[in-house]
Each structure stands twice: as structure tokens, then as C-alpha cells.
Amino acid sequence: VTYNVTGGNLQRQIAGFTSVVAEDVNDFSVTARGNGSFEVVLSIQENRRVQTFHSFRHMPGSRSVRPFFHHKRGSLLISALLLFAILLTLGLGIMSSQAARMKAAQAQVASLQAKQLALAGWEDFRVKLGKDFLLIQMVEDQTYLSYSEDVYIPDPGGPSEDTFYGTYTVVCDTSRVIFEPEPVGIYVVSISGKVGPRNEQPVAERQMEFEINAQDNRVIRIYDEGSL
């Protein structure tokens, strides 16, 4: 940065210049350079706290003065804070995305577990219907048969230490069946599998529906309504 000073006493002009750029000028020095140029360094106390150095150079034949202030420390601090803010934002974004992915993976696992509970309920109903032809014997004005079972995970320690896994609920709709003399029509069996304690909000729930021929217990159609 070049400071151009017109003729006259150099020190007097420097003193006049420093009275404009700062209130307190501690000291200044003049260093001769090659080719008839010189460099002036000012030591200035700003706001009575931070001491900064203002330097300028004079080249022969110049007629204007331009101040230059060194703010390297402030620039480095701002750059460091900006970099820290960028890294912090990226880190929080990565953590949020990982948490969302983990939650989605856990929900998918729970949904599959609920589906297995619903299929277990269907298998239980199918076996009972095959062994007992009197299982679905409705009294007058009764069109539904329902029951629910708890499912436990056995532990090596014994039945008393089994871990509760979930429940499945079976509801058989017989409104489309005529029972005289033999059952004719379609049973609609709705099965719900729930993961979690019975009296609490389930972690996941899966609903499935089976249509069965009442004459030979053959499955006609299966609906998987997905997770609820």
C-alpha cells in the first residue's frame, strides 16, 4: 500500500495524518528503502485497549495519502467462526439424518414382527377350525366369533421367565354363511397382530383378512392391509 505525501516537512505531515486516523499515536518510525522511497510505521492505541499498527510507504513524485490498517487477527477469527458454524451445521444434519434412518429401520422391523403375529393368529385359527368342526356354531342372532392370544418368547430359565412379545386377535364374521343343514357361504376372518404390551399403545400393528369357503375351509382370498 503506497502513501503519497506532497512536499514539506515529512514528520509534520505524518503527525497531521495520525491526528485524523486515531486519537492516540504512541510512536512512529521512518525506514529508508531503495530507489529513494521510504516506509512509515505508526503505533496507535485504539479505544485504549487494542494496539494496532498502521504502515504506509511514500514513493517520490506521489501526491496522495491512503491509509492501510492490518486486521489479520480479526479476519482469522471471523474465518474460524464461519468454518466452525459450517461444520456444526453439517454435523447436526448428519446426526438428524442418521436418527431418522434408525427410526425408520426400527419401524420396519416392528412392522414385520406384527405381520408374523398376524400370520401366527391365522395359523392358530386354521388348525382349530380343522380339528373342531363345531368351532363356528353360532346361536341365534350371533354373527361373530372372536378371541385373542398372548405370545411369549421362551427363555432357557423356564416358562415363568418367558418374555412377553405381543398379541394377536382373531375375529370371524359369519354373516355371509347359512348353517342349515350344512354351512354354505364365506367366512371372513380378520386377524390383527400387535407388538407390545396388551394394555399399552402397540409399537406396531398389522391387519390381515382371509376369506374362507365354509364348505371345505379353503382360502379364497387374502388381504394384507399393512401396518396401522
Q: What is the dihedral of CA 17, 18, 19, 24, to 10 degrees?
A: 180
Q: How far is CA 159 from the centre of its chain?
A: 40
pLDDT at 13 (0 to 100): 52
pLDDT at 135 (0 to 100): 74
Letter for the amino acid at 65? Answer: V
Which residues in the chain land under pLDDT 50? 1-8, 18, 20, 22-23, 46-60, 62-70
pTM: 0.54
Copy the grid coordinates of residue 1: 500500500
What lies within 8 Å, CB to CB, of 19 at 6+ separation is 25
The domain limits of the chain are 10-70, 107-227
CA–CA distance from 199 to each of 135, 167, 214 (Å)? 28, 11, 34
pLDDT at 192 (0 to 100): 94
pLDDT at 30 (0 to 100): 57
pLDDT at 211 (0 to 100): 94
